[in-house]
Structure 1
Amino acid sequence: MFRKTPPQTPPPNPNMPVERVTSVLGPGILWKGNLRGTGGIRIEGTFEGDITLRGLVVVGETGKVVCQTLQANTVIVAGTVTGNITAEKLEIRGTGRVWGDVIISALATEEGGFLRGQVRMEEKIEFPLETSSSESSSETA
């Protein structure tokens, strides 16, 4: 009779970026392939391949990413990234090393952070929306 109803949490919106880590690639792990989707990942091992995430990518101090492109809403680098980065926000920590061109809206670096490449700042970064198979089939009907 006097029971409080628990607050309802809205379902996650797949088009909204996730600004927290939801997956971890641990130290000692080598992953080859491409990563796409929505979520946040922390990389402490080695990742070889392209990354396109609507969310957060953290490359930890022991992390190493080798890619053609890394696209995410927010990228934090404390390890090494060899490849081009497109992000709304890029943060290079004091132990971070980036070899590649970056396209960003905001850049933050700590003393000791390293970037070798061209920097292009844009007012707004647009990420291509990936359509699911159900959306693409409904467009052809």
Structure 2
Amino acid sequence: MSKKKNLDSAMYSMFGTSSEQPAVEAEPKMEDKPAEPVVAAAPAPVGVTYLAPGSFMEGKLQTDGNVEIAGNFSGDIIAKGTVILHMVMQGNITAESLQLKGCKMTGNIVANGTVTLDEAASVTGNITAGELVCSGKVKGDLDVKGNLALNEKALVEGNIVTRTMTMSCGAVVAGGIKMNTAEK
């Protein structure tokens, strides 16, 4: 045995090491590449279902998009988007938000967002909404999770439950009002 191997063997048995330096493994070489640009996926376009003036439709309408009814509709509407109603409707509406423009509706409304009635709009039925802006007529109960705004030509014939309320001079409520401050 050579002197060097003999020394390495003795050092290893006494100290658990040898005189040779352990081989250093080369780290894998990283290549610097430009980062790929981060692009957010564009939201899918929201479709609009439209019922033209002079049209009549009966049945159930369910969509992931928005709905605009300018004709007459009889049945229920379930939409994940906004519903805009211009004419006559008999049935219930469930939507994210709702705009009633010069229309006459008979049925209940459920909306997570804002429901807006203009001065020429009327609803015979109950309304449950996140927010409600009313300038028209409602014959039914209102359950509003957030703010209820009754503008000067608003007429509500029914009971109201809301968290906050703004009532303009000239607005009329024929029913009880309960301020529900527990919900936030």
Query: Under a length normalisation based on structure 2, what TM-score does the superposition of the two structures give?
Result: 0.54
- 1:97 corresponds to 2:97: no
Greater C-alpha radius of gyration: 2
- Name the structure, 1 or 2, with higher relative contact order (CA <8 Å, separation 6+): 1
Q: What count of residue pairs does the alignment treat as equivalent?
A: 113
- 1:35 corresponds to 2:93: yes
Given candidates 7, 11, 24, the residue that maps to 2:84 is 24
Q: What is the match of residue 134 of structure 2?
A: 77
Q: Does the residue aligned with 1:105 lie in a helix, a strand or coil?
A: strand
In 2, Cα distance between the equivalents of 1:9 and 1:93? Answer: 38
Question: Which string of whole-angstrom CA distances, capped at 9 and with x for unpartnered residues, describes residues 63-103 of structure 1?
Answer: 00000x21001111101000000002211000111110001
Unaligned 5+ segments in structure 2 are 1-33, 45-80
Structure 1 stretches (4+) deviating beyond 4 angstroms? 4-11
Contact 1:87 1:125 in 2 (8 A): no
CA root-mean-square deviation: 2.7
Q: What is the match of residue 55 of structure 1?
A: 113
2:172 corresponds to which letter in structure 1? F
- Identity rate, percent: 19
Cα deviation, residue 124, structure 1 = 3.9
